Amino acid sequence: MLEERLNNDLKDAMKAKDALRLSCIRMVMADIKNAHIAKQKELVDDDIIDILQRQVKQHHDSIDGFKKGNRPELAKKEEEELKIIRGYLPQQLSEGQVAEIIKQAMEESGITQKKEMGKLMAFIMPKVKGRADGKLVSRIVGESLK
């Protein structure tokens, strides 16, 4: 479904002569094709979401680098591409929603010690996959554990 949506949006961007959207979607489609070749099987939406999340992280790193290098025009372009990519990701959870999921996971798993943070993260991440940033989840888990 997601790959089909990307293909349709690629065609629309070509018709509209939207160079930024076109190049951004082409970049995503190239990553999808590379992953398809590497896995030698059809990709499902979860696989594509992983690719999109990886690209979001790369764009964040690029934006930071361009801002540190005093290149605001390149940072702005990366931010615009980031908005396009985020449009294909599921609706992101708020900090409060993430905290509630973490609270429920702590009750279900019985984990309350900070030394078991890794186990709790492994329990939580599948529940928030594609809908919350790992850094945010990690910070809230760290604050929630004793």
pLDDT, one tens digit per residue, over 78-105 is: 999 999 999 998 888 889 999 999 999 8
- Give yes or no: residues 50 and 122 share one domain: no
* Whole-structure pTM value: 0.77
- Give yes or no: residues 59 and 100 share one domain: no
pLDDT, one tens digit per residue, over 17-65 is: 999 999 999 999 999 999 999 989 888 988 898 899 899 999 999 999 9
- Give yes or no: residues 62 and 128 share one domain: no
DSSP state at residue 115:
G
Number of domains the chain contains = 2
Name the residue range of residue 20's domain: 2-86
Displacement of CA 17 from its chain's centroid (Å): 27
pLDDT at 146 over 80: no
- Give yes or no: residues 62 and 132 share one domain: no
- Give yes or no: residues 70 and 121 share one domain: no
- Give yes or no: residues 9 and 79 share one domain: yes
Q: How far apart are CA 144 and CA 99, in angstroms?
A: 8
- Give yes or no: residues 80 and 100 share one domain: no
Half-sphere exposure of 59 (CA within 13 A, CB side): 20
* CATH classification of the domain holding 45: 1.10.1510.10
Q: How far apart are CA 121 and CA 102, in angstroms?
A: 9
* CATH classification of the domain holding 119: 1.10.10.410
Q: How far apart are CA 17 and CA 23, in angstroms?
A: 11
In three-state secondary structure terms, 1 is: coil
Cα separations (Å) of 44 from 51, 105, 117, 134? 11, 26, 29, 21
